[in-house]
Amino acid sequence: MKRNILGAAFLALGMVAATGAEAEIAALTVGQDASSPFMRVYGRSLPPIGHVGFCRQNPADCKRSGPKRVKMKLTLERKADLRAVNDLVNRMVRPVSDMKLYGRIEHWTYPAGKGDCEDYVLLKQRLLIERGWPASSLLITVVRDENNEGHAILTARTSRGEYLLDNKQAEIMTWNKSPYSFVKRQSGRDPKVWVSLTRPGQRQIQRTAGTSPDLIQEHLKN
């Protein structure tokens, strides 16, 4: 009887701890529900200036293609895809800032052995598309990390939730298990369109890139 009581007590404590952790994660991004396997989106947001430049240099990689807003069926094989690509790119690319590599704050490109966080993401996205993942299920996502600094990760939308591929993490985790505050991401309808992940009216601190309105408008028209 004592064992049963103790077991129930530990289970209850574990549930409280888990609930507390989910509440803490939810508090990081206003308007997100950590109990949901999918993130909420809140209308259009300006794309990062680095992505605008990337699309100018790689227009074929920024065209709408395939079905829109797809959630990939998450089989064991597909989950293995996520792990394999995340691990491969994290091992083959050495983290170096854009300023050191290119002498500028933001320069998004496919990495050649070195790169910033967004370069990891671009390569992971391309490799997964080559493995048969729909482009609309693989969304570049801007977050604020534990130090409140801008960071880019890849969100894979699946039938069992949204998983994150991150150059700072070896593990593939669902969005609601991450330590990040979510800012915005690509739309599943058009890779050049970005959507907000924060409830309207909330102030967002965007440290990943500046934005030039004229350049953004030209980018969205093309």
> What are 155-195's pLDDT values in tens digits?
999 999 999 999 999 999 999 999 999 999 999 999 999 99
**What is the structure's pLDDT at 28?**
65
- Residue-wise pLDDT for 113-146, tens only, equals 999 999 999 999 999 999 999 999 999 999 999 9
Assign 79 a pLDDT band (cuts: 50, 70, 90).
very high
Please, which residues have CB within 8 angstroms of residue 122's CB and are 6 or more apart in sequence?
54, 108, 109, 110, 111, 140
Over range 85-90, report the average pLDDT.
98
| Structure tokens given for 173 | 């985790």
Percentage with pLDDT > 70 across the chain: 78
Q: What is the DSSP letter of 48?
A: P
Where helices occur in 76-210 by DSSP H, the ranges are 76-92, 98-102, 117-130
What whole-number distance in Å separates Cα of residue 175 and Cα of residue 166? 11
Architecture of domain 2-221: Roll (3.10)
Bigger pLDDT: 205 or 96?
A: 96
pLDDT at position 57 over 50: yes
Using a 10 angstrom Cβ sphere, with 0-12 exposed, 13-18 middle and 19 or more buried, the burial of residue 30 is middle
**What is the structure's pLDDT at 16?**
38
Over range 36-61, report the average pLDDT.
96
Mean pLDDT, the chain, whole residue set? 84
What whole-number distance in Å separates Cα of residue 218 and Cα of residue 220? 6
In 3D space, the residue among 188, 212, 184 whose CA is nearest the CA of residue 200 turns out to be 184
Rg for the chain (alpha carbons), in Å? 19
What whole-number distance in Å separates Cα of residue 114 and Cα of residue 93? 5
Where helices occur in the chain by DSSP H, the ranges are 2-28, 49-57, 76-92, 98-102, 117-130, 213-221
Identify the three-state secondary structure at position 83: helix
